[in-house]
Structure 1
Amino acid sequence: MKRLLVAVLGALLLAGGAARAEPVKIRFTLDWKLQGLHAWYYWAQEKGYFKAENLDVTIDQGEGSAATVTRIMSGVYDAGFGDINAVIQNAAVRPAETPVMVYMIYSKAPFALLTKADSPVKSVKDLAGTKLGAPAGGAAFKLLPLLAKANGLEYGSIAITQVAPNLQEQMLLQGQVNSIAVFSATSYMNLVALKLDPDKDFRWIFYSDAGIDLYSNGIMVSRKLANDSPEAVKGLLRAINRSIRETVENPDAAIALLAAKEPLINKDIEKRRLIYVYKSLIDTPEARQLGLGDISDARLDTAINLISEAFELPKKPAPAQVFDRAFLPPKADRVPPQVGP
C-alpha cells in the first residue's frame, strides 16, 4: 500500500511539473513589412494556437526574405519566414549555422522583373545597359545573377541601384530606374493601391518563365531550435499549418485581426493580397499532390545544382541540409483548402 501511495504521489508530481513547464520562447521574423500574406502568423498567435503548443512566439517584421536567413544565423531570431535559396547559398559555406527550411509555403516563386509596358526591356537580355532597382536584402535581387547567367547576360552590364523597399514602384514610375526586381505578391498589390492596372500598364518577367523554376519562401528554423526542441518545431508548424487553412477560408476575419495589429493597412488591398498569394503561389498542383509544406526532392536537387553553379559555391549542400520534412504535420492535415473565386 505504501509503495502504491508513493507511486501515485510521484505520478502527480510529474504531472504537475509537466503542467508547469515553461513555454519554449521563439523569436520569429517575417520577410517584410506587415501584409495580408502574414495573416496566418498573427491568427495563430491571437487564436492561442502557439500557446496551445506551449510556445511563446514573438513576431517581428522583416527586411527582405533573404535577410531572414542572416537574421537567424546571427542568433537574434530562432525561426522565420524567408527564402530557401538564401538557405542553399549559406549552407554551402556555413552549414552548421545556416537555418533549415521545415515548411515550404511558396511552392511557386514570386520572383519577377517589373517594368513599364512601353519599356524597351522585354526580356532578361534587354537589361544590359539599363538601370535596375532593388532592396539589398530582397531575394529577387539576390537571385538576379542566377537569372542573368541562365539567359546569357553579363551581370556586370546591369546598372544596379539599391532602393528602399517602400520606394521601388515609385522610382520605376518616376523613371529613375528602368526595371525593378520584385516579389509579385508585394508589387502587384502596391500598383493596385496606386490605382494602376498591374496587367495593362506594366510588363512582368517572371523568373520561372525565364528558366529559373525555384522554390521560394517558407518557414525556417535555427539548427539549435531544431536540435534542442524538435517538439517545439513540430508544434510551431502545426499552429501555422492550421492557421493557413483557416485564414484563407475566413479572409475577412483574418484581415480584421491583422488590422487590429496595424490599423494603417488597407484592408481591401490586404484581403486581395492574401487571396492572390494563396491562389497563385501556395495552392499549386504540386502542393495539392504533396500537401502544404512539402516539396519535390528532385525539384529541390535541381534548384541546388542551379544555384551552386550560378554562384560558384565552394560546395554543393545536400538537400537534407536545406530542407527537413521530419517536422511536418501529417499529410491529411496539409490538404490545401479550395477557396472561391
Structure 2
Amino acid sequence: MRPATRDSEMQGASTMKTNLRNAAVAAAAAALALAAVLPASAADKLKIAISQKGLWDTSTAYFAAERGFFKAEGLDVSYLFTGGGTETLQTVMTKSTDIATGTGILGVIGAYGKGAKLSIIRSEILGAPEAFWIVKADSKIKSAKDFDGKQVAFSRPGSTTHLIVLTMAKKFGVKPTLVSTGAISASRIQLMSGQIDVSYSIPPFNIDLVKSGAARVAFRATELPELQQQTIRVNVAHQDLSPEIVTRFNRAYEKTLAWMYDKPEESAAAYAAYAKVPVDIAREVPAYYPRATLEKRELVGLDRNVADAITAKFIKAPLTAKQEAELVRIPAAN
C-alpha cells in the first residue's frame, strides 16, 4: 500500500470540513423548522381593574399595559376601569380581575375584615396631595369650616375621598351631609346643577372650572397634614395570585412610574391623549403628585389606617399580627 501523499491528506481534511459544515447547516435548518411548528412560550395572563380613568396616579397600570412594560415582564394584561372604592374592590373579590390599582386602603381593610381574600401588594400613593373640593363661583361657602350641614361629595364608601372628608369633618368640627356621587364627572354634574354643595376633584378634572372662574377651591386635602404621612391608596391582589407574578407586576409598574417622571414631555403627550385634556393641563398634573409619594412601595401608618377603619365602623377591632401578615404581602424589590 502506498503511503498517503500530502495532497491526499489535504483533500481528506477539506472533505471533512465540508461534511461538518453541511451537518451544521442541516442542524440549524432543523432547529428553525422545529421552532416554526412549536408555540412560543406563553405570557401569563393577568386582569387588572384601574380605578377612576383619567387620573395621573392610576394611569400607571394603563401605561404599563399600553407601552409594553408588562409585556417585557412576560405578562399578558387586560384591564377595565371602575369608579373607585368598593366598585374596584368587588372586581378582585369576585375574581373578575386579579389585581386592582388605586383603591382606598380604608375599604381594603374593611373588606378584608369581612372575609375578603385580598392582599395589599404595594402602596399606590402616600398621603393625598392631589385631592381638592370645589364649590360654584357664587357659593357662600369659603372653606371647610362652612361645610356644616352642606352636601359634600366623595366617590365611594371606603375610598380615599371618603377618608379625607371623614378626617376633615372631625378636624374642623363640622357635620356635613356626605354624598357618594361615584365618578368625578358625576360629582361635577351634580355640583353645577345644584344637587350638591361641594364636589370632590382630582386633577386633571375640574381644573378647567377653576381656571374659567365657574368654580372655586374651598378645601384641599393638604390642609390635613395628619394624612400626608399615611398610605391612602393601595394596589391589591386576590390571595390566590402567584407571588412570582405579583413581583413581575410590581417591577413593570415601577419601571412605568420612572418613565412617567423621567420623560415629562413624552408622558405628558401620552397622558393628554389618555385623559382627553389639553397638553398644557397634562403638563401641570404631575406637580400635584410628588414623585416620592408614588414611588413609595411599603405602607406607612398602617396602625392609623386601622384606627380610621374602626372609627368609620369598617371593622370592629384592631387586626392581629397574623391578620396583618396575611393582609399585607408586599414582595421585596428586585
Whether the 8 Å contact between 2:98 and 2:237 is mirrored in structure 1 is: yes
Runs of 4+ in structure 1 off by over 6 angstroms are: none
| Equivalent residue number for residue 334 of structure 1 | none
| Equivalent residue number for residue 167 of structure 2 | 147
Alpha-carbon distance in 2 for matches of 1:266, 1:76 = 34
| Equivalent residue number for residue 76 of structure 1 | 96
Q: In the alignment, is residue 232 of structure 1 matched against residue 245 of structure 2?
A: yes
Whether the 8 Å contact between 1:35 and 1:270 is mirrored in structure 2 is: no
Counterpart of 2:289, as a letter, is Y
| Equivalent residue number for residue 219 of structure 1 | 235
Q: 1:329 aligns with which of 313, 319, 333?
A: 333
Shift of the 192–315 alpha-carbon distance from structure 1 to 2, 3 Å rule, reads same
Shift of the 149–94 alpha-carbon distance from structure 1 to 2, 3 Å rule, reads farther
Counterpart of 2:328, as a letter, is F
Whether the 8 Å contact between 1:150 and 1:212 is mirrored in structure 2 is: no
Greater shift, 78-87 or 136-145, is seen at 136-145
Alpha-carbon distance in 1 for matches of 2:209, 2:223 = 26
Q: Deviations along 1:229-252, whole A, 9 cap, x unmatched?
A: 111110000001011011111122
Q: In the alignment, is residue 166 of structure 1 matched against residue 168 of structure 2?
A: no
Counterpart of 1:268, as a letter, is D
Shift of the 39–256 alpha-carbon distance from structure 1 to 2, 3 Å rule, reads farther
Whether the 8 Å contact between 1:67 and 1:137 is mirrored in structure 2 is: no
Matches for 1:26-65 after TM superposition, within 5 Å: 26-65=46-85
Greater shift, 237-246 or 65-74, is seen at 65-74
Counterpart of 1:308, as a letter, is I
Q: How many residues align?
A: 291
Shift of the 276–66 alpha-carbon distance from structure 1 to 2, 3 Å rule, reads farther
Shift of the 94–174 alpha-carbon distance from structure 1 to 2, 3 Å rule, reads same
Shift of the 71–208 alpha-carbon distance from structure 1 to 2, 3 Å rule, reads farther
Alpha-carbon distance in 1 for matches of 2:50, 2:243 = 21
| Equivalent residue number for residue 266 of structure 1 | 278
| Equivalent residue number for residue 108 of structure 1 | 127
Alpha-carbon distance in 1 for matches of 2:182, 2:74 = 40
TM-score, structure 1 as length reference: 0.71
Greater shift, 309-318 or 237-246, is seen at 309-318
Alpha-carbon distance in 1 for matches of 2:122, 2:47 = 17
TM-score, structure 2 as length reference: 0.72
Alpha-carbon distance in 1 for matches of 2:284, 2:124 = 18
State the 1:206 CA deviation. 2.0
Q: Deviations along 1:14-51, whole A, 9 cap, x unmatched?
A: xx9xx954322111111112344444324322443212
Shift of the 322–112 alpha-carbon distance from structure 1 to 2, 3 Å rule, reads farther
Whether the 8 Å contact between 1:112 and 1:140 is mirrored in structure 2 is: no
Shift of the 258–132 alpha-carbon distance from structure 1 to 2, 3 Å rule, reads closer
Alpha-carbon distance in 1 for matches of 2:178, 2:248 = 45
| Equivalent residue number for residue 17 of structure 2 | none
State the 1:205 CA deviation. 4.1
| Equivalent residue number for residue 24 of structure 2 | none
Q: Deviations along 1:136-159, whole A, 9 cap, x unmatched?
A: 46724543674377348586x626
SS where residue 190 of structure 1 aligns? coil
State the 1:61 CA deviation. 1.7
Whether the 8 Å contact between 2:184 and 2:205 is mirrored in structure 1 is: no
Q: In the alignment, is residue 85 of structure 1 matched against residue 94 of structure 2?
A: no
Whether the 8 Å contact between 2:49 and 2:80 is mirrored in structure 1 is: yes
Whether the 8 Å contact between 1:37 and 1:270 is mirrored in structure 2 is: no
Percent identity over the alignment? 18
Whether the 8 Å contact between 1:114 and 1:179 is mirrored in structure 2 is: yes
Q: 2:296 aligns with which of 289, 292, 309?
A: 292
Output the aligned Cα RMSD: 3.5
Alpha-carbon distance in 2 for matches of 1:207, 1:31 = 21
Which structure has the larger Rg over C-alpha atoms?
A: 2
Counterpart of 1:215, as a letter, is T
Unaligned runs of at least 5 residues, structure 2: 1-30
Whether the 8 Å contact between 1:146 and 1:307 is mirrored in structure 2 is: no
SS where residue 82 of structure 2 aligns? coil
Q: 2:289 aligns with which of 278, 297, 307?
A: 278
Alpha-carbon distance in 2 for matches of 1:90, 1:28 = 18
Alpha-carbon distance in 2 for matches of 1:321, 1:41 = 24
